[in-house]
Structure 1
Amino acid sequence: MPRNNNRAVYPGAQSALDRFKYEVAAEIGLGNKVQSQGWENMTTREVGSIGGFMTKKLVQLAEQQLANNNATSAQLAQSAGQEAAQGVTNESGR
């Protein structure tokens, strides 16, 4: 029997990924089959579909977070720039 050497980097991530795996299976119409037959009786294509869809959704989530962080960073930088400009004006007595 092959050993699974994949370990979650963060504690608790494995249980969250397991829940996510079942959610995705249900979303693509394989939830009942997983529950009735178990993962070991699923075809490689079915399990691959679930894994591929999980990856797609995780990439979308990461892109969304990056976009939000970039927007926040841009706002902070703009705000800091405005404050710095006001500070220079206030210090010079203008």
Structure 2
Amino acid sequence: MSVYNDKLTTSQAKEALKHFKIKSAKEIGINLKEGYNGDLTSREAGSIGGNMVKKMVEAYKQNLK
């Protein structure tokens, strides 16, 4: 695999995670804006990350069945 393909894959993965984060935040009622979101509280940021992990675990369990 070439270096170009590795960068393209990494770029696509970053974009997918960004959309996943925005979707997870909306589901729990937190509005993220494009770019810097340093005004979030630690609780809000942790809730977003926790929701993302919860969804990833659920998806993994579904794939095991």
Unaligned segments of structure 2, at least 5 residues: 1-8
**1:35 CA drift (Å):** 2.3
Per-residue deviation, 1:54: 0.3
SS of residue matched to 2:29 = coil
Count residues with an aligned counterpart.
Answer: 55
The C-alpha deviation readout for 1:36-90, integer Å capped at 9, x for no partner, is 9x421101110000000000000000110111xxxxxxxxxxxxxxxxxxxxxxx
- Looking at structure 2, the residues matched to 51 and 39 of structure 1 have their Cα atoms a distance apart, in angstroms, of 14
Report the counterpart of residue 60 of structure 1 in structure 2: 58
Q: RMSD in angstroms over aligned alpha carbons?
A: 1.7
- CA radius of gyration, larger in: 1
Higher helix residue share = 1
1:32-47 alignment runs, 5 A limit = 34-35=32-33, 38-47=36-45
* Identical columns (%): 42
Q: For structure 1, list consecutive stretches of 5 or more residues without a partner in the other structure.
A: 1-9, 68-94
Q: Distance in 1 between the 2:63 and 2:52 partners?
A: 17
The 2-side partners of 1:60 and 1:44 are apart by 24
Structure 2 length-normalised TM: 0.75
Cα offset, 1:15, TM superposition: 0.8
Structure 1 moving runs of 4+ over 6 Å? none
Paired residue for 2:29? 29
| Structure possessing the higher relative contact order (Cα contacts under 8 Å, 6 or more residues apart) | 2
